[in-house]
Structure formats: structure tokens, C-alpha cells
């Protein structure tokens, strides 16, 4: 990841709005496919087909060798689940994470959804993870620093008895899926990150709380991608691409699940 933060022009922002709209629509298609009896591969197919139908490219496909258009993660899989033959059932929770590239710019979003009736803990985890995004969003405006977003996310999540992952963070976005700056979901020791930049108009970032019902430590499975909670507690993920303006931040990946 380059350490240079790119400020987007008006024309670039307009393209990012279109990329974000496509990504958000694909997330909605993925959410609708999260049903009892569906395979994670079928969920991925719904996402892939929507992105291509709308004139974009599934950015995750081939990224670092990832074999699908969407990361589909179930229960204790917090992020980066590889779609396949696994069938989801009532009581499971499923995260759908995806990116769409349109005219050279990327929209990135994720959401975690219940399959049928789920436990009270699962409902609360999904709700807290989603709301944690909006808690952080309050600080996504000029004058604040990146770590202010993470501090707000962490405080909200921990106040509800859950924990935020430390090994994975949000990020800048634009022509590349991952750009500077890194956007942690907690307030780190300054020595852990190269910089804690101030937010300025024209920056585009991804705020993405990744939350565990238990401890925050995680393991990566043998497939080299799937990240699971070390204690096998439930995990959830919620993400949107955000534009920093001179006032209220603009969510570029709005969808009907927001």
C-alpha cells in the first residue's frame, strides 16, 4: 500500500459514486441470497452476476489470488471466507464483503446478515457491528484524525461487551482497493502505525468494523484466506466507502439494508 493519500477530483468522485452504487447493489443481491439451503458459492454468484451486469468488474476476483467476487464468511469466520460448497442454515450469520471496479475506481462494502431466526447474541452482534460504523462515521470529517474514527468504534463495541479485531483494519480507497491511510477500528499506540493523518475534503476511505463476540484474537485457516476467531465465537463485519466532504461525510455505498 502506498503511503501517499490521494485526494479525488470532482470527476473522480462522480465515478466513485457510480462504483459505490454498483457495489452497494451487489451487497443487496448477496444479502437477498443469504437463505437457508443456499451455498456460499451461490451467494457469490449473485454478487458476481450483478457487478458484471452493471458494467463493472469484481475487484476481489483474482486479488492476491482470491478465487471469487465476494468474501462469504459464516459464523466464526469474520472475514475473507472463500465461497464454496458450504450450505448455510437457519441460525447462521453470514458476512458478504465485495468490491466493484467501475471506470478505474473501486467501491467496497460489506454486511453481515442472519439466516432465518438467529440467537439473541447473534442479533446483538450484527446490530452493534453495524452501528459501530455509524459511531465512527461521526468523526469522518475535516479536522479529525483517522484514529478518532477507530476510538469511537472501539468504545462503542466494547461498551456492548464485544471486541474489535486488531490484525485487520480499514483503509483508503480509489483507483486501488487498498490505499493510504490505514483506518484502524481502535485507538492504537502511535508506534503501531506510520501516521495518524488529519481528514481532509476529497479523501475516500473505508470504515469497516470487524467485531468478535468473544476475544479479538484470530487465526487464518489453511486456505490462506479465511479469518476465524481463535475462540470460535461469532464474528461480524460491516463496511462502507465514505467520502470526506467539507461537512457531513457521504456514504458512497448506500443500499437498502442501511
Q: Is the pLDDT of residue 194 over 80?
A: no
Cα gap 142→202, rounded to integer Å? 10
Residue 58 in 3-state DSSP? strand
Global pTM?
0.97
Helices (H), the chain: 10-33, 40-53, 120-137, 146-159
Residue 3 lies in a domain: no
Domain ranges, residue 197: 10-251
Residue 2, domain member (yes or no) = no
The verdict on residue 176 lying in a domain is yes
Q: Would residue 204 count as lying in a domain?
A: yes
CA count, 13 A, side-chain hemisphere, 52: 10
In a domain, 17, yes or no: yes
d(CA 206, CA 77): 20
Least confident of 53-62, 148-157, 248-257: 248-257
187: exposed, middle or buried (C-beta count within 10 Å: 0-12, 13-18, 19+)?
middle
- Inter-residue long-range contacts of 43-48, CB under 8 Å, 24+ positions, other chains counted: 43/70, 43/72, 43/83, 43/88, 43/94, 43/96, 44/68, 44/69, 44/70, 44/72, 44/83, 47/96, 47/98
Q: Which residue has the cell 460491516?
A: 238
> What is the model's pLDDT at position 2?
63
In a domain, 258, yes or no: no
pLDDT band at residue 195, thresholds of 50, 70 and 90? confident
Render pLDDT for 102-121 as a digit per residue (tens, 0 to 9): 999 999 999 999 999 999 99
Share of residues in the chain with pLDDT > 90 (%): 93
Residue 209 in grid coordinates? 468494523
| Burial environment of residue 185 by CB neighbours within 10 A (0 to 12, 13 to 18, 19 or more) | buried
Indicate the average pLDDT of the chain. Answer: 96
- 4 within some domain: no
Count: domains in the chain: 1
The 10s digit of each residue's pLDDT in 245-255 is: 999 999 999 87
pLDDT at 117: 98
Is 72 among the domain residues? yes
The domain that holds 172 is classified in CATH as 3.90.230.10
CA 218 to chain centre: 17
Amino acid at each position: 500500500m502506498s503511503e501517499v493519500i490521494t485526494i479525488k477530483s470532482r470527476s473522480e468522485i462522480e465515478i466513485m459514486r457510480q462504483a459505490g452504487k454498483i457495489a452497494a447493489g451487489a451487497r443487496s443481491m448477496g444479502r437477498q441470497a443469504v437463505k437457508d439451503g443456499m451455498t456460499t458459492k451461490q451467494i457469490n454468484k449473485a454478487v458476481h452476476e450483478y457487478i458484471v451486469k452493471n458494467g463493472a468488474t469484481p475487484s476481489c476476483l483474482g486479488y492476491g489470488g482470491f478465487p471469487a467476487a465476494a468474501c462469504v464468511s459464516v459464523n466464526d469466520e469474520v472475514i475473507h471466507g472463500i465461497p464454496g460448497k458450504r450450505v448455510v442454515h437457519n441460525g447462521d450469520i453470514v458476512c458478504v464483503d465485495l468490491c466493484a471496479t467501475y471506470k478505474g475506481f473501486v467501491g467496497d462494502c460489506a454486511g453481515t446478515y442472519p439466516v432465518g431466526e438467529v440467537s439473541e447474541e447473534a442479533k446483538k452482534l450484527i446490530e452493534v457491528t453495524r452501528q459501530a460504523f455509524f459511531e465512527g462515521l461521526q468523526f469522518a470529517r475535516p479536522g479529525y484524525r483517522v484514529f478518532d474514527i477507530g476510538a469511537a468504534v472501539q468504545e462503542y463495541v466494547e461498551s456492548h461487551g464485544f471486541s474489535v479485531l486488531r490484525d485487520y483494519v480499514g483503509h483508503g480507497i480509489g483507483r486501488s482497493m487498498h490505499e493510504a491511510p490505514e483506518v484502524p477500528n481502535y485507538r492504537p499506540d502511535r508506534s503501531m502505525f506510520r501516521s495518524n493523518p488529519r481528514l481532509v475534503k476529497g479523501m475516500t476511505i473505508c470504515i469497516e468494523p470487524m467485531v468478535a463476540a468473544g476475544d479479538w484474537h484470530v487465526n487464518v485457516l489453511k486456505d490462506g484466506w479465511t479469518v476465524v476467531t481463535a475462540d470460535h465465537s461469532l464474528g461480524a463485519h460491516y463496511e462502507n466507502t465514505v467520502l470526506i466532504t467539507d461537512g457531513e461525510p457521504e456514504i458512497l455505498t448506500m443500499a437498502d439494508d442501511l
